[in-house]
Amino acid sequence: MTLVNNAVYVDGRRTSDPASLNETYECLRERHGMAWIGMYRPTVEDIRSIAAEFSLHPLAVEDAVTAHQRAKLERYGTTLFTVLRPARYIDETEEVEFGELHIFTGEDFVVTIRHAETPDLTKVRHRLEDNPQLLRLGPEAILYAILDQVVDEYAPVVAGLENDIDEIEDQLFKGDPAVSRRIYELSREVIEFQRATHPLLDMLSRLEEGFDKYNVDVELRRNLRDVQDHAIWVVERADSFRVLLQNALTVHATLVGQQQNDEMRSLTEAGLAQNEEVKRISAWAAILFAPTLVGTVYGMNFDHMPELHWVAGYPLALGLMLVTSCALFTVFKRRGWL
């Protein structure tokens, strides 16, 4: 449904609920009040109808039709065109969902165009309707109230992101391999959150600069400064989140590097220990090989082996085995193989 909530106000009170845009235009001309037209993903024809009725600037109309705009505030004559990026934290998926809200504010009208579920402008409308004195101040009161609602809805997002960062810190020191991906995804959300909130400070400052020029009511000035204070807090928190995530990524890289170093050290130590064992085995094999070789040669029992008939042949063979083994043992011992 394109037309979500539509009303004409006179002296701060709701006097008519037109069923269509044409009825709204006629009622506004007759009663000389203020129209607040709330729309949800309107068609191009609806936007062009509003543009023709309220003489909206073509560039602002083009932005409203195209959507996917950055947060900004632009003035076209007596009309303000405001783009806000509301956000909400989804607990089930632990993700931040961003929306888009366009606001046209003129001398006797406010047109709100939502491209997402948030913010809930019904709350804003009811709050203003319960305070006719504030609503009597005109379209500026509606704009400031919407700004206040959008900034207030950033608070649960801040809390959700803060909780996610706390969980990441726990994952870091538990060695969870999935933490790097989560840091990356959360960093993207924080950057998008910064893009939504950072322009608010400039927008609110520009509105404050026009207080005297457009003779803004004192009460509205107080409301805007309160919104500005909350916006500064949100922006500062978003900036701190980005720094924390960058530090977390650095710590994760350090821990991964340290883990790899520990693994390499363990492998190196295991390799060294293995080399020592190989040395010992090789040394004993060499020591045992010498007498085995001598025994094997003289165990052939060939007829033409003169040593077999020597009286001292047997003791000589045993002595040769012993000397060779002792010599090899001494050499390997000095080299640290045994």
pLDDT tens for 97-143 read: 999 999 999 999 999 999 887 788 999 999 999 999 999 999 999 99
138 sits in the region (left: phi over 0; alpha: psi -120 to 50; else beta) called: left
Domain ranges of the chain: 1-129, 271-334
Check for a shared fold between 1-129 and 271-334.
no
How many C-beta neighbours within 10 Å does residue 128 have? 22
pLDDT value, residue 304 = 65
- Tokens encoding 209: 């600069």
Q: What's the pLDDT tens digit per position in 142-171?
A: 999 999 999 999 999 999 999 999 888 888
Q: What is the CATH number of domain 271-334?
A: 1.20.58.340
The whole-model pTM stands at 0.75
% of the chain residues with pLDDT over 70 = 93
Q: Are 182 and 61 in contact (CB under 8 A)?
A: no
- CATH H-level superfamily of 1-129: CorA soluble domain-like (3.30.460.20)
CA–CA separation, 251 and 244 (whole Å): 10
Q: Beta partners for 208?
A: none
Confidence of residue 298 (pLDDT cuts 50, 70, 90): low
In this structure, the number of other CB atoms found within 10 A of the CB of residue 182 comes to 17
Q: Which token pair is 250?
A: 């650095």
Are 56 and 67 in contact by the 8 Å Cβ rule? The answer is no
User: In angstroms, what CA-CA distances link 40 with 48, 61, 91, 114, 275?
Assistant: 15, 15, 24, 5, 75
